[in-house]
Structure formats: C-alpha cells, structure tokens
Structure 1
Amino acid sequence: MAAIESVATAGAAAPRPRTPGRIARALRHMLHHPSALMGVSIYVIFLILAIFADLIAPYDPTEILFKDDGRLAASLPPGQGHWLGTTNLGRDVFSQLVMGVRPSFFVGVTAALAVAMIGSVVGLFAGYLGGLVDRALMRLADLVLGLPFLPFVIVLVALIGPSQRNVVLAVAILLWPNAARVIRAQVLTLAQRQFVEAARVTGASEWRIMLVHIAPNIVPLSFLYGSIAVGWAILTQASLSFLGFGEADTISWGTMLQDAYASQALDRQQYFWFIPPGICLVLVVLAGFLISRGYEELLFPKLGEG
C-alpha cells in the first residue's frame, strides 16, 4: 500500500507540461532563435500576400493585356506598368506571381495539418497500445515508405483527377509514416513516466491516459513534422503543375514555370518570367527548414551546443 501511495505521490509531483504553456514557450523560442525567426518572417510575408492578393495584384492574372495602340502586350520586359513584364500571351507576370501564393499556401498548410494529425494519431496508438496494433500500423508505415513519392502522386492525381484537395490527399498519404514512427518512439518513452503510472493507479482509463496525459506531450513533434510537410506539399503541387497535372484554371507557381518552359522563355532570355516563382519556391521550402531547425533545437537543446 505504501509503495502504491509513493508512486501516486511521485506521479502527481512530476511536472506534466500543459499544452498552452508548451506552445507559448515554443513561440517565445521562435522569436529569439535567428533561423526560426527568419523562417516565420518568410511565412508571414507570404501569408500577407495570400490574404491581400486581390488588392496587391494590379491585373487579373488570366487577363490578356493590350498596348495603347491596340497591339498585344506580349513578352514585355519589366517596366511600362508591369513590374516583372508580361508573358508571351500578354499576361502580367507579377499578378500571376502574387495570385499564385494562394493555391501554394492552401496546399502546404492543409497537407501539413493532415500529416501532423495522421502521424500523431497513428504514432500515439501504435506506441501506447503496442502488440498487434503496433505491428500492423508500423508494417503499414513501412509499406508506405517504400512507395516512390512523385511517381505515386502523379498516378494518384491522374486517377482521381487534378485538384488541390487530391494533392493534399496524396501528400498526406505518403508523408505521415515519418511523423508516426518518431512519435511512436516518444510515446513508448512517455508511457513509462511516473505521471502515467500515477494515472493508472488512480483508475484513469486507457483513453484518458492517451488523450490527457500523453497526447499533449507529442504536440511539439507534431508541429515539427508539420512544418517540414509544408515545403514538401508546396514543392509537390508545383511539380505536378509543371508536369501538366495541375488544375487548368488555377494560376500557381508551378503553372507559371510550366508556361514559361513551354514558351521557351529561357531561350528568349525572359528570366523575369520563371526566376521569380522559382525564388518563391526556394524561400517557402527554406522557411520550413529554418522553422523546423529552430524547433528541433527547442526539443533537443544539445543540438545547439558547440
């Protein structure tokens, strides 16, 4: 009896981090970590562009423009009312660049949430329940990890149709195993902690232990893998659009690159057409890496030493 009381007392005294407190601490860390702050700043800038795209873009991205003399305003260099010039069809490149932020960020953020949610749920169940559930879920994760990423996404989107939701679905299907495996390892460690043992002694159900005592502690890892998934999702959407598997009526960075390639913009030295969307893709992927790096150092402080 005394042993049980000592376990319960130790478990109650053991600090059990609260989710809001962990989130607040993570945000403070982001603001003081140089690389993470840079990554967050890049995302904020693109988010502002996405929200106010209609006000920032001077033209409709699909509108065919004409000069004052009635001729097609095709392949104009930067200037003359067009910051980045025009395409070979007389469309404003800067307007396409700004409006292309919306589909890219929609796919990136939605896919990140899906990856974090699926990976967290699978990792939590596999790590805590163990046994047959653990073996089945981990073998499924191994199977998914064995699939070639881009070819599988292309086949899936070709079968079910090109749309932003289908791109999100494909990315979520393929990226959740990485998060699930790491979260499972974390859950295996948390399940042996004193506060979990104390919860069992006090009669807490398995569901309550998983959702109340363990789940809040895996939120940081979920956030980490979600931030990584943003870049992967945006790159996947751009790759599909470049290969011709994107939505025909949606202007995105990938469709800009595809149009520039099909129009031989490089041979014509129309660098203003394809370099800006390429830089934007590099920036959003870099931002995800910088945020994940900063958050990784928060989770594992020894990484920042030396």
Structure 2
Amino acid sequence: MTTESMPTPTKAETAQTPRSLARARKRRSVARFWREYRGHRSGLWGLAALALIALVALFAPQLVGADSQSVTGAPGGALESPSGEFPLGTDQFGRSVLALLVWGTRVSLTVGLLAAFLCVAIGTVVGIVAGHFHGWYSTVLMRITDWFLVMPTLVLAIALATVMDRSMWTVIIAIGVTTWPTTARLVRAQTLAVESRPYIERARALGGGHGHIMVRHVLPNVMPLVLAQTTLVISSAILTEATLAFLGLSDPTTTSWGGMLQDAREAGAVSAGDWWYLAPPGIAIALVALAFTLCGRAIESVLNPKLGVAR
C-alpha cells in the first residue's frame, strides 16, 4: 500500500491522548460488563435487594426517628404482639421491633462491608506477594496462610473479640484478620497464572521492578477475581458478625441484627413463643447474605464465563 492510499487520521483521532483512550476503553469495559450482568436474573434480584437495603440504612433516622432506640419513654408495652401501631411488635423495653430492625441495618452492613474490605485487602497483598516472590518469602507466607486456613475461623474470631474491647471495630478486626486465607490462596493462584504470560517477561526485560510488575501488571489482572470474592466475603462477614453479637461479644450499646437475637434470647422470647422478636432479624440476616451471594455469583459468572452459572 502506498503512502497516498493510506487513510488520513481524522481530527478527533489525532486529538485523543493515551489517557483519553484508556478512559474510553474503561467505559466500554464497564458497559460490556453491565450488559452481560443484566443477563443474570438472579444477580439483578440480588442487586435490587441490596439497593433497597442500602436506602433503608441510609435513611434510617428519617424512617423510624432518631430516638427509637432509646429505652426511656418507649411508646409500647413489653413484648407486645404485632399490631397496627407496631407491625412487628415490641421488645422487652417496649421499643418497636421494626424500628430496631431498620437501625440494625446500618450496623450489620457497616460491619460486613468494612470487615470484608479488610479481609480482601490482607488476602490480596499476601496472595500477590506470595505468588510474585519465590523461595522462603513465599514459603513463610503460605505456611502462615495454611495455619489460619486450618484453624476454625469462628473460634479465632471469638478469641480475638474476647481479649479486645467490646466495640464495633473489634468485631470488624476479628472478622477481617481471620477470614483472609481463602482470598490469599485464590489471588496467589491467579498471580502465578498472570506472571507466566509473555508480557511479564517483556516487562522484566525492559527493567520493570518488583513493585512495577505487581502494581501495574498483576494487580489489574487479579482485580476481577478480587471483586467477585469481595461480594461473597461480605455475606460471610455479616453472618459472622451476627454470630458474635448473638454470643454477646459485640458492642452492647449499638443495635444490630445479631444483637437483637441475643436480646430476644435473654428476654425469654424463645420459651415464650414471641416469634415476632426472633424471626425478623433472622430473616433479615438471611436475605442480605443471599443478596450478596447472588450478586457475587453473577459477577463471577460474567468474569469467568466457563463457570456456566445458571441464569
């Protein structure tokens, strides 16, 4: 082909910078991801449920009032059954169970999100470092990971929550530092697969250091796996938080779904058959965990079509 026959670049094409091209590629990737995600009906149901729950948590003070958690001046009697005034009945102090359920959404979601973020952050760093470096670095990291992996997660979380102060941050730390090994192993396996590709060898030949390869080449390629793992870890973190709260190891001054179950047990709701005090927080925990799991499975299916997850 001669120079005269070659197409002349348009003004728009010549005006594009590498940064604008990168942004355009990202926009196309996001649009393609959303188009494929919409094909998973279960994922859409989970996303809609999470959006509704997030709105409830965000506007909790406007929905039920800022003083609905106070035990002084409670509007109802102790353990009243559901009625028009109290759709889900009252607790042992006369507070509306529905109002407590709405307030508990905030704490449960906050603990689940932050604990999952801490877990995934630790697992991602350990997995990338263990997969990139070889020799005793990788051996030591993976032996520590194996130790945490074989130890019962709930037992470790209970031990940490027992020796630390009873607060929401204690629960977050206890969950985050005990549930990262699975993420670390997944990220390490993906790191080994990424670093076996030819462009990693070219990056090393061009003088790319360890930090450059891990941050610029490995991390972007493991992020889809990390994103899918995060949505699955959140549901597990919410369940663990509810368990710790039910065992009395969370902050007693905050209202959470697990704490509501603990209060219901102490109030004798189990023996008295006061189902309206027990069922709502348990159902809420199950629904949120299910919603995050549905979203996580849909994301995993989009990022890895070979899994063939049912739509």
Q: TM-score, normalised by structure 1?
A: 0.87
Q: Deviations over 1:209-260 (max 9, x none)?
A: 1111111010011112211111111111111111111111111111111111
Q: CA deviation at 1:88?
A: 2.3
Contact 1:119 1:222 in 2 (8 A): no
- Between the aligned partners of 1:235 and 1:305, the Cα distance in structure 2 is 24
Pick one of 48, 63, 76 that aligns with 2:71. 63
Alignment of 1:4-153 (within 5 A): 22=29, 25-58=32-65, 60-65=68-73, 73-153=77-157
Q: Secondary structure at the match of 1:200?
A: helix
Q: Secondary structure at the match of 2:179?
A: helix
1:183 aligns with 2:187: yes
Q: Deviations over 1:252-306 (max 9, x none)?
A: 1111111111122133332111111111100111112112211221232122178
- Between the aligned partners of 1:143 and 1:25, the Cα distance in structure 2 is 40
Pick one of 264, 285, 289 that aligns with 2:289. 285
The amino acid across from 2:69 in the alignment is: P
Q: Secondary structure at the match of 2:180?
A: helix
Contact 1:120 1:222 in 2 (8 A): yes
**Structure 1 residues 149, 66: closer, same or farther in 2, change over 3 A?**
closer
Alignment of 1:241-252 (within 5 A): 241-252=245-256
1:217 aligns with 2:221: yes
Show the counterpart of 1:256: 260
The amino acid across from 1:175 in the alignment is: T
**Structure 1 residues 66, 295: closer, same or farther in 2, change over 3 A?**
closer
Show the counterpart of 2:14: none
Contact 1:116 1:179 in 2 (8 A): yes
- Between the aligned partners of 1:50 and 1:35, the Cα distance in structure 2 is 23
The amino acid across from 1:35 in the alignment is: S
Q: Deviations over 1:57-111 (max 9, x none)?
A: 15512334566xxxx6222222242121111221111110000011101110001
- Between the aligned partners of 1:274 and 1:25, the Cα distance in structure 2 is 43
The amino acid across from 1:39 in the alignment is: G
- Give the aligned CA root-mean-square deviation in angstroms: 2.1
- Between the aligned partners of 2:74 and 2:208, the Cα distance in structure 1 is 71
Show the counterpart of 2:269: 265
Q: Which runs of 5+ in 1 are unaligned?
A: 1-15
- Between the aligned partners of 1:177 and 1:164, the Cα distance in structure 2 is 22
Contact 1:187 1:218 in 2 (8 A): yes
1:298 aligns with 2:302: yes
- Between the aligned partners of 2:177 and 2:267, the Cα distance in structure 1 is 34
The amino acid across from 1:44 in the alignment is: A
Q: Secondary structure at the match of 2:280?
A: helix
The count of corresponding residues between Structure 1 and Structure 2 is 286
Contact 1:30 1:295 in 2 (8 A): yes
Q: CA deviation at 1:27?
A: 3.9
Q: Which runs of 5+ in 2 are unaligned?
A: 1-21
Question: Which structure exhibits the higher relative contact order, with contacts defined as CA atoms closer than 8 Å and separated by 6 or more residues?
Answer: 1
- Between the aligned partners of 1:56 and 1:31, the Cα distance in structure 2 is 31
- Between the aligned partners of 1:139 and 1:23, the Cα distance in structure 2 is 37
Contact 2:113 2:234 in 1 (8 A): yes
